A and B are shown apart, each in its own frame.
Chain A
Amino acid sequence: MKLSDKELKHLTSLAKIKLANDELNKFQKQVSDILTFVDELKKMDVTGADKISQMSGEVNNWRLDKKYEASGKQKKRIHDAAPETKDGFLKVPGIFSDL
């Protein structure tokens, strides 16, 4: 099945990925080919089947309702991994403001 230009644009907008102009055609074909491949599943009879959402078979493996604090060393690693920091905080772009 061939993905239309509009559909590809919709997908990239949802996924928050921008494709370069010279990549658009290539991706459109490649993604279309993959969708054609998976469309084989339309031929399978799934009448009466339940959906399966997890594979472990485990149910509600809870942990204790207790506070776990990261160590000072871990907190420092998390801080140091951030793209921008200020005064010990992670600095992030404002949601409604321009940068």
Chain B
Amino acid sequence: MELAHLTLHEARQGLARKEFSSFELTQSFLKRINKYNSDINSYLSVYSKEALKQAKEFDDADVIKTNPLAGLPLAIKDNILIEGGIVTAGSKILENYQASFTATAVKRLKECGAIILGKTNLDEFAMGSSTENSAFGVTKNPWDTKKVPGGTSGGSASAVTADLCLSAIGSDTGGSIRQPASFCGCVGYKPTYGIVSRYGLIAMASSFDQIGPLAKTVKDAALLIDCMAGHDTYDSTTTTKNLENFVDGIAKFKPSGMTIGMPKEYFSKDLDSQVAELIQDEVLALESQGIKVKEVSLPLTKYNLPVYYIIMPSEVSSNLGRYDGIRYGFSDRSGKTLESVYINTKSNGFGQEVKRRILIGTYSLSSGYYEAYYGRAQKARNLIKKEFEDVFKEVDLLITPTAPGPAFDIGAKTASSVDMYMQDIFTVSANVAGLPALSLPVGLVNGLPVGLQIIGPRFADLPVLGLANILEQQIAFSRLEYV
């Protein structure tokens, strides 16, 4: 089997048994990136020299490296800072911007010994659901290059699927890890809000954003979370709770006595019936294992997207204020006044979707509309959060679809923003309520992968990963062998 097709855990084992070197492993990815990246456009920048240098250091070390990710190559979404490296956020406004510090999540992955292969493509400032909003070209779905890989972590998802890395890191604000994972047939995990530090993640909507893994298996995703998770003094929204080890936890996890809820609002006419069938088949199989399943109702489900598309753009309009051409990034100083620097820089630097969301946020926060939009959405968000808390008194976890259907054609949904927003219909709730949620490939519809989503109450990351691990073995999805 080609080295690049190995999972993170298989590669780790292979290195430990000296079946191959980290140099050979890293080189196999760089060769594939060289061969395939111009077709798929997963990577925006590739760190060939640096990656091989680190791989060689691993191989030459006298001491046996016991770091959990030692010698293992990963890809990082290009809205996460690595000191000295260009970080674009998929935008012309940061096209040449070099990061002045490294994100805590990446710092921890490096401390675990990981090798960084490069930065992956994304929708501009993580706004979109298809990676079509990138200022640096669209990324293609490796299963069918006429289709989108999903977004905004489309670069990361396609890199994992096409074996251009062992695993990748992405970010999820409304589904940006899970939906591309669903479209590309890999595992995508958004942890409980507060588990992974956002320090060094280019902020989009600070009360929704979370960093998380995209991987070939659930166990791989759990390992990456173990390396990144935990309190960070640089991010005061990170949890002060002591976290368990997830890899160990999922090995011991027993679902007996669990009750799974299937919220009826997520199995509506908006869902492709073939996806519904695939999920229901797996749930039936779980039932035969002694896990209880019941239908539940979340009546506020229809308000998730409106709440999200009010609060998120409001936070965006505030967070993106910093790209004013004063301290860094693209700067248009052709005008005569300070204000013209702001206006020209933003108008010429930002793409269309970014401008749209800034305008929506500006509207929601403006005088006369603030209470009717932002204020109301804050109350609605609280009620949605409470609705989930109530349902989790009845059931332990929820199973839902990840996306309304399989990947769509490139260009199919760019005419209407609202059409694109509807792609997030099942993923956004986990961000609205700060809950852990994972997407797992459940099968193929018209030859394209689709995902099953598991949502848990806050800090139920272990049960979510644990159930996913069990389902993964039950589903036995065949990964793509991209050539």
Contact = CB atoms under 8 A, between A and B. Distances in A.
Interface stretch (B125-133, B144-152, B374-382): B374-382
A30 B344 CA distance: 22
Contacts of B372: 42
Contact of B360 (A35, A41, A81): A35
A17 B347 contact: yes
Interface in A21-79: 27, 30-31, 33-35, 37-42, 44, 46, 49-58, 61, 63, 70, 74, 77-78
A89 B253 CA distance: 57
A77 B84 contact: yes
B240 interface: yes
A27 B359 contact: yes
Nearest to B300: A44
B382 A51 contact: yes
Given A38-B373, A55-B194, A81-B327, A33 B355 contact: no
A16 B307 contact: no
A51 B384 CA distance: 11
A93 B358 contact: no
Nearest to B299: A44
Given A14-B362, A33-B418, A49-B383, A56 B238 contact: yes
A88 interface: no
A38 B100 contact: no
B362 A74 contact: no
A16 B343 contact: yes
Interface stretch (B161-169, B269-277, B331-339): B331-339
Interface in A71-99: 74, 77-78, 80-84, 90, 92-95, 98-99
B366 interface: yes
Contacts of A90: 326-327
A12 interface: yes
A37 B98 contact: no
Given A81-B100, A81-B328, A41 B377 contact: yes
B353 to A, nearest CB: 9
Contacts of B329: 81, 83
Nearest to B435: A55
B306 A41 contact: yes
Interface in B288-315: 300, 302-303, 305-307, 309-310
B356 A56 contact: no
A99 B381 contact: no
Residue from A19, A55, A80 whose CB has the most chain B CB atoms within 10 Å: A55
A83 B328 contact: yes
A77 B98 CA distance: 7
Interface residues of A, number: 53
Contacts of B434: 55-56
Interface in B211-259: 233, 236-240
A77 B101 CA distance: 9
A93 to B, nearest CB: 4
Contacts of A78: 100, 327-328
Residue from A61, A82, A90 whose CB has the most chain B CB atoms within 10 Å: A61
Given A30-B417, A77-B84, A56 B237 contact: yes
B388 interface: no
A84 B329 CA distance: 11
A17 B363 contact: no
Contacts of B377: 41
B306 A50 contact: no
Contact of B359 (A11, A33, A41, A56): A11
B350 interface: yes
Contacts of B350: 17
Residue from A7, A33, A81 whose CB has the most chain B CB atoms within 10 Å: A81
B347 A51 contact: no
B193 interface: yes
Given A15-B358, A18-B347, A46 B383 contact: yes
B171 to A, nearest CB: 15
Contacts of A52: 378-379, 381-382, 385
A81 B146 CA distance: 38
B38 interface: no
Contacts of B355: 17, 19, 27
A33 to B, nearest CB: 6
A37 B421 contact: yes
Contacts of A92: 326-327
B460 interface: no
B341 interface: yes
17 contacts: A7-B363, A16-B342, A17-B346, A31-B363, A34-B360, A37-B306, A38-B306, A38-B360, A41-B306, A41-B380, A51-B378, A55-B194, A56-B434, A57-B194, A80-B98, A82-B327, A92-B327
8 tightest A-B CB contacts, nearest first: A83-B331, A51-B378, A49-B379, A55-B434, A61-B236, A52-B382, A77-B100, A56-B237
